[in-house]
Chain A
Amino acid sequence: MSEKTRRTRTLCGNCRYHNTYRYPDQVFCFARFSKRENPVVSIFYHCDEWENKLQDCFCLEDSLRKRGEKAK
């Protein structure tokens, strides 16, 4: 996967609402929490409110790497 693709894929890890919850795999979403929905979701999840904003963080990258390592 190219760097560009990685950073624009529709995933929580690329959404402006994400905060890390269990680095790097789980994020805490305050948008969901405000609506009393379960706020802890996978970094690979996304919902209708997904709003791309590059945070320049490593969570998605590290999570993908971790996933790749697990698959080996």
Chain B
Amino acid sequence: MKREDFLSKPVTHMKLKPNMTVNQIVQQFKNSGSFGAGRLATACDVYENMVRDEKCTVFLALAGAMVPAGLRATLSDLIRKRLIDALVSTGANMVHDLIEALGGRHYQGHWQVDDYLLYKYHIYRIYDVFVPEEDFIKADETLIKMFDEIATKIQGKRLSTNQLMWEVGKRLKDPSSIVRSAYEAKVPIFLPAMRDSEFAYIHTVHQARSNPAKALTVDAFKEVPELLDIASHSERLGMIVLGGGVPRNSVQHAALMTGKGLDYAVVITTDRPEPGGLSGSTIEETISWGKVKHKANKVMVIGDALICFPVMVASVMERLGPNFRRKGNP
């Protein structure tokens, strides 16, 4: 590269006006092209490219307490509009979706609070979100009975996490529920770390109530060929990551195992690469494994996913317009 190549694109200063739309603000971020603003603007472009690419299957990898904190309706809408094709999530996020689907709520709280006082009142804290214990318990009660019913219906058949989520979704009424929306839209939900959530407790009590031979069996490995099948039938692969962890690597691993590599990647996280954990690993590091293609359309945004993701989605929805329809892949 020559010297002038480094100096080809000046920073254009942001101009903010009253009544700007989300996408107009994102365009100002793009004009700056710097720091988090520049990366977020690039993320919007990458996501727009993903959904406009008719041959691309869009995976959303979801970790962190995004659902309790207010992303539930957004994710449900994305599923119904087929702006994502498959959800790979922590078990906990789906548990929190089900808590609300079954009548519970999450409450705005504060991070500076006497946690022992919360304990005495049977209230759980997720940073500054509060959940009353009874809402967990009532969801547990319904889900355990649902597990009993599903076990009776399937008669010893082993289910993948996705099959179980669709069975649960089938039994819900709440149209805002992620699990219900996924069932209706036939969008798979994979929970690669399902047992690391309230589902473990729900299954344990279900098992205690049942004849052990007739208890529900969820096969953790059964989702792997299902995930690979989707990846192998997709011409191109896209991934949006909120947080990281097991959901992120499950998607990346499917891209690797099918020998395809991801064509598009947006990673939104606050994690750092230096400790060597997957959540903070750079997309470039992922390229070394063959999980993301060298020439992929990609960006990593270091920021709070609860801020960045809704901005990205709102900006892209604005670009797509109200009449945009996506059939979904594969």
Listed in ascending order, the chain A residues whose CB lies under 8 Å from chain B are 19-23, 28, 30, 33-36, 39, 56-59
Quick one: closest A residue to B121, CB to CB? Answer: A58
> Are A21 and B134 within 8 A (Cβ)?
yes
Question: Chain B contacts of A35 at CB under 8 A?
Answer: 209
> Are B209 and A36 within 8 A (Cβ)?
yes
Q: How far is the CA of A56 from the CA of B209 in the complex (A)?
A: 29
Q: How far is the CA of A23 from the CA of B133 in the complex (A)?
A: 9
**A39-B119 CB under 8 A given contacts A21-B134, A23-B132, A34-B205:** no
Q: How far is the CA of A23 from the CA of B136 in the complex (A)?
A: 13
Q: Does B138 contact A (CB under 8 A)?
A: yes
Within 8 A of A (CB), among B98-154: 116, 119-122, 132-134, 137-138, 141, 144
Q: How far is the CA of A22 from the CA of B135 in the complex (A)?
A: 9
Question: Chain B contacts of A58 at CB under 8 A?
Answer: 120-121
- Would you mind naming 26 contact pairs between A and B with Cβ atoms under 8 Å apart? A19-B134, A19-B137, A20-B132, A20-B134, A21-B134, A21-B137, A22-B134, A23-B122, A23-B132, A23-B134, A28-B134, A28-B137, A28-B141, A33-B141, A34-B205, A34-B208, A36-B209, A39-B141, A56-B116, A56-B119, A56-B120, A57-B119, A57-B121, A57-B122, A58-B120, A58-B121
**A59-B141 CB under 8 A given contacts A33-B205, A33-B209:** no
Q: How far is the CA of A10 from the CA of B228 in the complex (A)?
A: 55
11 extra interface residue pairs, beta carbon distance < 8 Å, beyond A23-B134, A33-B205:
A20-B122, A20-B132, A20-B134, A20-B137, A21-B134, A23-B132, A28-B134, A34-B208, A36-B209, A56-B116, A57-B119
Quick one: closest B residue to A30, CB to CB? Answer: B205
Listed in ascending order, the chain B residues whose CB lies under 8 Å from chain A are 116, 119-122, 132-134, 137-138, 141, 144, 205, 208-209
Question: Chain A contacts of B137 at CB under 8 A?
Answer: 19-21, 28
Q: How far is the CA of A8 from the CA of B209 in the complex (A)?
A: 30
> Are B122 and A19 within 8 A (Cβ)?
yes
Q: How far is the CA of A23 from the CA of B120 in the complex (A)?
A: 11
Question: Chain A contacts of B133 at CB under 8 A?
Answer: 19-20
> Are B122 and A34 within 8 A (Cβ)?
no
Quick one: closest B residue to A58, CB to CB? Answer: B120
Task: Kindly identify which residue among A21, A22, A34, A57 contacts B209, using a CB–CB cutoff of 8 Å.
Answer: A34
Q: How far is the CA of A56 from the CA of B118 in the complex (A)?
A: 11
Q: How far is the CA of A30 from the CA of B144 in the complex (A)?
A: 11
Q: How far is the CA of A20 from the CA of B134 in the complex (A)?
A: 5
Q: How far is the CA of A33 from the CA of B142 in the complex (A)?
A: 11
Q: How far is the CA of A34 from the CA of B202 in the complex (A)?
A: 11
| CB of B123 to closest CB in A, whole Å | 9
Question: Chain A contacts of B208 at CB under 8 A?
Answer: 34
